[in-house]
Amino acid sequence: MASPVPTQGNLNIRDLSKKFGDFLAVDKVNLKIEKGEFLTLLGPSGSGKTTLLMMIAGFLDITAGDIDLNGASIANIPAEKRNFGMVFQGYALFPHMTVRENIGYALSVRKRPASEIKARVDEMLDLVQLQDFTDRKPGQLSGGQQQRVALARALSFAPPVLLLDEPLGALDKKLRVEVQDQLKDIHDRIGTTFIYVTHDQEEALSMSDRIVIMRDGRTEQVGTPLELYEKPESRFVASFLGKSNFLEQPDGLYALRPEKIDICAAGTGAGPARLTGTVRSITYFGSMLRVMVDIAGGTEVEVDVDSWRINTPLSKGQKVDLTWSDAASVKLARG
């Protein structure tokens, strides 16, 4: 399709806020989103992810701040003129239309010729592997198939930015992992900028170029999955992305991932123990063991060990030494 809009866009969100009455749902968010990037908004329910996305899509008025697309403000452009693709929470497919009509809708309302619509819909059907379901209504499709129709529909007019609001929320765990791979693959192939909302940290870690951690309407931390996981700046980020122990040290609070701790029977370690304690419980997860250790002084530390590395079996009530490298613990900039 000869598209008047670039199929990749960069977005610049500046001091964006949204108030519902007195309630500040989005609070001075600043974000630069690069062309072709896969950016994830991750945060607990109610943290303002959907509200932020709806402002980008143009369904909610902006209370304060601005949004630029490729350098020009889009704050006053109505939703139907923004040309952003969107996969809605719950998909919002047109229940009275077939798969083909759903996917062709955007071009059809743009009064494109029938031949062009057909060609584009076929292309989209190929992209999401739905060639065999063209004449079905959404009600006759499984959740995963509906999700793919929603994706194809949102991409049909080659939008510069695709917004996805918890698109996998309605799918079961196994299907979700499969669709994650497909989504990522589609992103890599078409190169559209994706803004992806989820509250699922595994989804965010495995798919994103960058993650924005949202909390109470603010951006808590922005970075690549690796940066966020390895260098969390706050207790919130460290415990929201993966698991973490928190150690109070004289110079501040440190985060320590459970899998970065070595555990051994008291006195059997190579070097001096950083902490000593007693095993409170051991849970076996196949590839790994989760050991909860009571430290003298009342704190509790979680240690995740690869099963194969345990040569002398641990038992409940046993005294153990805990060690870790200096790089393993991260000093938190904020509580």
Partner 1 sequence: MKTLGRYISPGWFLVAPFLLLVAAFYLGPILNILWLSFTDPVPGVGNYRELYESDALVRIIWTTVRVCIVTTVFSVLLGYVIAYAMVHAHENKRNLMLGFVLVSFWISILVRTFSWLMLLGRNGLVNNAFETIGIISEPIAFMRNELGVLIGMVHYMVPYAVLPLLVNMQTLDMRVMNASRNLGASGTQTFWRIYLPLTTPGLVASTLLVFILSLGFYVTPAVLGGGKVLMVAEYIYVQLLVTLQWGTAAMLAALMLFGVLGLLYVMSRFMKLSTVFGGTAS
Cα 223 from chain centre: 12
The torsion region of residue 108 among left (phi > 0), alpha (psi -120 to 50) and beta comes to alpha
Least separation in angstroms between residue 25's CB and ligand ADP is 3
Give the residue, chosen from 59, 246, 254, 324, that forms a contact with partner 1 under the rule CB under 8 A: 59
In the bound state with partner 1, the residue whose beta carbon lies nearer, of 89 and 299, is: 89
Toward ligand ADP, which CB reaches closer, 15 or 126? 15
With CB under 5 A as the contact rule, the residue among 7, 8, 40, 50 that binds Mg ion is 50
- Strands 193-198, 38-42: pairing is parallel
Torsion angle, alpha carbons of 243, 248, 250, 256, to 10 = -20
CB 204 within 8 A of CB 211: yes
Show the tokens assigned to 108: 């059809």
Shortest distance in whole angstroms from residue 334 CB to partner 1: 36
Smaller CB distance to ligand ADP: residue 9 or 48?
A: 48
Question: Phi, psi at residue 92, to the nearest 5°?
Answer: 55, 45
3-state secondary structure at position 97: coil
Query: Judged by CB, which is closer to partner 1: 20, or 94?
Result: 94
φ, ψ dihedrals at 330, nearest 5°:
-120, 125
Nearer to ligand ADP, 47 or 102 (CB): 47
Please say which residue, 120 or 210, places its beta carbon nearer to ligand ADP.
210
Interface mask toward ligand ADP for 22-61; x: CB under 6 A:
-x-x-----------------x-xxxxxxx----------
Look-up: residue for tokens 């059997």?
268
Applying CB under 6 A, which of residues 19, 20, 132, 306 lies at the interface with ligand ADP?
Answer: 20
Window 120 to 159, contacts with partner 1 (CB under 8 A): 137-140, 146, 153-154, 156-157
Rg (CA), the chain: 24
Using DSSP bridges, classify how beta strands 161-165 and 193-198 pair: parallel, antiparallel or unpaired: parallel
Cβ at position 169, least distance to ligand ADP in Å: 11
Could you say whether residue 117 binds partner 1 (CB under 8 A)? no
* Other residues' Cβ atoms within 10 Å of the Cβ of residue 271: 8
Tokens (6 digits) for 185: 């693959």
Backbone angles phi, psi at 153, to 5 degrees: -65, -40
Give the interface with partner 1 as residue ranges (CB under 8 A): 57, 59, 78-81, 83-86, 88-96, 105-106, 109-110, 137-140, 146, 153-154, 156-157
Residues in touch with Mg ion (CB under 5 A)? 50
Binding residues for ligand ADP, rule: CB under 6 A, are 20, 23, 25, 43, 45-51
